[in-house]
């Protein structure tokens, strides 16, 4: 026997059936009913991550010193947010002691932030000209320096960053060394030797409170020899420091930059290190310059100069 339902009852039953079907679909899709108007596209991972259990520990919150999403360019990473901001305090004797290298700066390979437009074609380019007044004003040169400004040249050269891209650096050098130094950096570019940054520092930057993490390749600096009163070869524009952090100054307990102690191990294969007989030493030797890594009483691995001083 077939039971017939009144027309109104059949309509009500149909509505109930549709509603139940809708909630069933919502339960399968994970989207509450009535909130599915916008489509969400999720890129699948290689294997779906398991849902965390109620007893699972919460994910650690990244510290302020590490970026949540560190960009990487050819294995080079962005600089830590704190770089150049944490001033080192001297000890009771007034001396700033060497410190352990922070984990972020071991095997330091930092993406170069361009101070000047990079070469558009990615090739080596160089210029040399009298120092513009605006450049001289932002350097450490004053009339008290041992070289007149007319004996200096403003040189720009291409260099290869740790990101393997071509960048443009600037140097203030003695006019009699300009041509030779262009040749040196041409050789380093051809050898793909990485340099983090190359720019002219001001007096305020040179004399500011130390953070122990600087890594600027540069030439001119109007200052005396470390620990002495006689002028440094840098004050004549006749010396260049290459990647100071990877190639620190070391004498006794003194290490400069102070956080570069990990780089006292000269057997390391980390990039940017100047090695005996390597491309940097060969390039400077080709113009008759000497390396501070050959000093006997101390080691100045970053330092190259015209007279060996």
- Measured CA to CA, the distance from residue 293 to residue 245 in angstroms comes to 14
Distances (CA, A) of 281 to 113, 193, 258, 277, 294: 26, 12, 24, 6, 10
Q: Which of 11-20, 99-108, 126-135 has the lowest mean pLDDT?
A: 11-20
What CA dihedral angle connects 232, 235, 238 and 240, to 10 degrees?
80
The residue ranges of every structural domain in the chain are 116-305
Pairing state of beta strands 197-198 and 290-291?
Answer: unpaired
Looking at residue 70, its pLDDT comes to: 58
What is the per-residue pLDDT across 150-171, written as a single tens digit (0 to 9) for each? Answer: 999 999 999 999 999 999 999 9
pLDDT band at residue 142 under the 50/70/90 scheme: very high
Residue 61, token pair as written in the block: 């919150």
- Predicted confidence (pLDDT) at residue 31 exceeds the cutoff of 90: no
- Measured CA to CA, the distance from residue 198 to residue 118 in angstroms comes to 12
Contacts of 295 (CB under 8 A, 6+ apart): none
Contacts of 86 (CB under 8 A, 6+ apart): 211, 213
pLDDT band at residue 55 under the 50/70/90 scheme: very low
pTM of the full predicted structure? 0.77
- Measured CA to CA, the distance from residue 52 to residue 57 in angstroms comes to 9
Nearest by Cα to 65 from 110, 99, 107, 102? 102
Tell me the average pLDDT of the chain.
84
What is the per-residue pLDDT across 246-263, written as a single tens digit (0 to 9) for each? Answer: 999 999 999 999 999 999
Residue 161, token pair as written in the block: 């960053």
Tell me how far the alpha carbon of residue 123 is from its chain's centroid: 21
Residue 85, token pair as written in the block: 């901001």
3-class DSSP assignment, residue 297: coil
286-290 contacts, C-beta under 8 A, 24 or more apart: 286/183, 286/184, 286/187, 287/177, 287/180, 287/181, 287/183, 287/184, 288/180, 289/180, 289/184, 289/240
Residue 286, token pair as written in the block: 């080709």
């Amino acid at each position: 026997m077939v039971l017939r339902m009144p027309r109104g009852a059949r309509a009500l039953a149909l509505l109930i059936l549709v509603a139940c079907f809708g909630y069933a679909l919502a339960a399968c899709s994970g989207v509450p009913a009535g909130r599915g108007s916008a489509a969400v596209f999720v890129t699948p991972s290689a294997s779906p991550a398991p849902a965390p259990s109620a007893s699972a520990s919460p994910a650690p919150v990244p510290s302020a010193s590490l970026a949540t999403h560190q960009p990487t360019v050819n294995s080079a990473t962005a600089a830590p947010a704190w770089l150049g901001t944490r001033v080192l305090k001297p000890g009771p004797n007034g001396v700033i002691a060497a410190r352990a290298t922070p984990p972020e700066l071991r095997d330091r390979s930092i993406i170069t932030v361009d101070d000047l437009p990079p070469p558009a074609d990615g090739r080596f380019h160089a210029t040399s000209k009298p120092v513009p007044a605006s450049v001289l004003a932002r350097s450490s040169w004053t009339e008290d320096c041992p070289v007149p400004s007319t004996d200096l040249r403003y040189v720009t050269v291409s260099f290869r960053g740790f990101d393997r891209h071509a960048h443009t650096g600037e140097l203030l050098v003695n006019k009699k060394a300009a041509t030779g130094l262009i040749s040196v950096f041409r050789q380093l570019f051809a050898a793909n030797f990485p340099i983090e940054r190359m720019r002219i520092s001001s007096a305020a930057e040179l004399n500011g409170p130390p953070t122990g993490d600087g890594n600027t390749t540069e030439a001119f600096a109007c200052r005396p020899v470390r620990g002495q009163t006689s002028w440094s070869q840098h004050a004549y524009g006749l010396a260049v420091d290459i990647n100071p952090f990877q190639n620190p100054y070391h004498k006794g307990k003194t290490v400069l930059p102070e956080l570069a102690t990990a780089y006292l191990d000269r057997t390391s294969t980390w990039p940017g290190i100047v090695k005996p007989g390597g491309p940097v030493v060969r390039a400077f030797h080709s113009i008759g310059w000497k390396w501070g890594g050959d000093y006997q009483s101390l080691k100045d691995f970053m330092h190259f100069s015209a007279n060996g001083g």
